[in-house]
Amino acid sequence: MFRLAHISDVHLGPLPKVTLRQLASKRITGYVNWHRNRRKHHATDALTILMEDIFAQAPDHLAITGDLVNLSTDIEIETATAWLQAAGDPETTSVVPGNHDAYVPGAFRKICAAWAHYMAGDDVRERPLTVKSFPYLRRRGPVALIGVSTANASLPFMATGIFDETEARRLQALLKQAGEEGLFRIILIHHPPVNNAAAWHKRMQGIGRFQKVVAEEGAELVLHGHTHLDTLHRIMGKAKTVPVLGVPSASEGPSGRRPAAGYNLISIEGANGDWRCNVARHRLDRSGEEIVLSDAIDLHLKV
């Protein structure tokens, strides 16, 4: 059995001190949003309790689907790098970036340098990561982790993601390759690749393009973040529908408007053509003091 823990939208806080020059950009909207909303609900304690519970479960791998930071300032990226190193080593931890990680122009390049070992495919070790490094492919046991980037520096008041034709061609090739190897293919992506899963100003551009690739090549599972919600959708695959799982923010306190912090523990058994996959949803309780098992799902992956 292979067990994968999935978290997203870490939003490490609190915000560092920022200069007026740094705020003279889209960051001003994020800064105001944090102080009006996020700082009331995103709690370091919730994240600490969550990570301690994950460590106790001892999964084989940890997947993080973006938004480690808030405004993509240099000090936030440094803090997130240190947090990543404490969370796990690059062999057992995989990251894809979210829109907050590429909040302003130039931030994407910085996170690619800082988090390279967590976002590099099996065939990429030395050369610097760029947008062309995505999607990546990591083989871990019977699983193929395929990391897609939708991160981009969107306009103020927008949190959109982009999945373009170039990335679609790469994803199609990796899905085909991993399928021929008989691996359980899990796509990691920040924005939900499902229509109406996010408001128009937060949606992913290229949903139809993504779904077309999955319908043509197939996949076993898609994991995303961004919405901070517990969701399960399905999209068409090559021979069967493909589950698309969302997860709450990893740092949401129990008093927020959205579900409290949580993670999914995904158990995978079987072999090519005969997979069994179960999801245990672990969530912060109302007291904000412990993580409890809130639900278990059999994803019914057989054709």
- pLDDT at position 44 is 65
- pLDDT at position 33 is 54
3-state secondary structure of 289: coil
Average pLDDT over all residues of the chain: 88
Other Cβ atoms within 10 Å of 88 Cβ, number: 19
- pLDDT at position 273 is 73
> What mean pLDDT do residues 278-300 have?
92
- pLDDT at position 25 is 46
> What mean pLDDT do residues 224-249 have?
95
Please report whether residue 303 resides in a domain: no
Which two structure tokens, joined as six digits, stand for 5? Answer: 């823990």
Q: Please provide the DSSP assignment of 270-289 as one string.
A: EETTEEEEEEEEEEE-TTSS
pLDDT at residue 190 above 90?
A: yes
Per residue in 122-144, pLDDT (tens digit) is 987 656 788 888 999 999 999 99
For 13-44, b/e burial (b = at least 16 CB within 10 A) is bebeebeeebeebbbebbbeebeeebeebbbe
- pLDDT at position 43 is 55
> What mean pLDDT do residues 17-38 have?
48
pLDDT at residue 235 above 50?
A: yes
Of 227, 233, 198, the closest CA to residue 214 belongs to 233
Domain that includes residue 214, residue range: 2-298
In the chain, how many domains are there?
1
Which two structure tokens, joined as six digits, stand for 269? Answer: 């058994």
CATH assignment at residue 85: 3.60.21.10
> What mean pLDDT do residues 241-270 have?
93
Query: Residue with structure tokens 């639900």?
Result: 295
pLDDT at residue 300 above 90?
A: no
126 or 118, greater pLDDT: 118
- Biggest alpha carbon distance in the chain? 57
Cβ–Cβ under 8 Å, residues 143 and 183: yes
> What mean pLDDT do residues 267-295 have?
91
Cβ–Cβ under 8 Å, residues 261 and 284: yes
- pLDDT at position 35 is 45
pLDDT at residue 121 above 50?
A: yes
